C-alpha cells in the first residue's frame, strides 16, 4: 500500500497530527459484487479535539464551540465510503476532517459597518420613477390633468 499523501494542513503551518488520528474500517454498504463481502473499505476517522495539543488554544476553543453538535465526548468523527478502495477512502476522510477543522477554526468575520445611501442616488431614483409614471400615464387615452 502506498504511503498517505503527507500532512493534512488545516491552516497556515498547522496540520493534522498523524499520531492523534484514530482509524476504524468496516464494510461499505451498497452494491459491489463478490469484492464487497471481503474488503473493509468504509473508513471512519476520529480526532480527539478536546485533548489535542496540535491546535493553538484559541483555535481549539473556537472549534469546540462551532462543532459542539458534532462532538461526542470531545471527539469529532468523519466517515467516507464513496470509493471502492480503502486507501482512497482514507484520503477522502482525512481531507474532509482537515477542511472541517479549517472552517471551524477560522476567525469570525469582521462586523458589517452600516452605510447610508447618498441623498443624490435616492433623489435620482424618485425622479426616474416619476418620469416612468408620466410616460405610462401618457399612453392612456384619458385626460389626467
Reported as a pLDDT band with limits 50, 70 and 90, residue 2 is very low
Residue 69: C-alpha distances to residues 72, 96, 97 (Å) = 8, 17, 15
Rounded to a whole number, what is the largest CA-CA distance in the chain?
Answer: 88
Extract the C-alpha cell encoding 99.
Answer: 477542511
The per-residue pLDDT for range 42-89, each reduced to its tens digit, is 888 888 888 888 888 888 888 888 888 888 888 888 988 888 888 888
Q: Is the distance from CB of 22 to CB of 45 less than 8 angstroms? A: yes
Cα(121)–Cα(82) distance, integer angstroms: 53
Q: Is the distance from CB of 64 to CB of 50 less than 8 angstroms? A: yes
Cα(137)–Cα(145) distance, integer angstroms: 11
The pLDDT value recorded for residue 132 is 96
Q: What is 25-52 written as a DSSP string?
A: EEPPPS--GGGGGT---EEEEEEETTT-
Q: Is the pTM of this model over 0.95?
A: no
Amino acid at each position: 500500500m502506498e504511503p498517505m499523501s503527507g500532512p493534512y494542513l488545516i491552516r497556515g503551518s498547522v496540520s493534522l497530527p498523524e499520531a492523534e488520528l484514530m482509524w476504524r474500517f468496516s464494510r461499505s454498504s451498497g452494491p459491489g459484487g463478490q469484492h464487497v463481502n471481503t474488503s473493509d473499505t468504509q473508513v471512519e476517522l476520529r480526532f480527539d479535539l478536546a485533548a489535542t495539543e496540535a491546535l493553538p488554544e484559541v483555535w481549539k476553543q473556537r472549534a469546540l464551540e462551532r462543532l459542539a453538535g458534532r462532538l461526542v465526548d470531545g471527539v469529532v468523527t468523519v466517515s467516507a465510503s464513496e470509493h471502492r478502495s480503502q486507501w482512497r477512502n482514507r484520503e477522502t476522510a482525512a481531507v474532509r476532517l482537515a477542511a472541517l477543522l479549517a472552517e471551524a477554526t477560522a476567525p469570525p468575520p469582521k462586523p458589517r459597518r452600516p452605510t447610508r445611501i447618498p441623498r443624490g442616488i435616492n433623489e435620482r431614483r424618485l425622479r426616474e420613477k416619476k418620469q416612468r409614471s408620466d410616460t405610462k400615464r401618457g399612453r392612456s387615452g384619458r385626460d389626467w390633468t
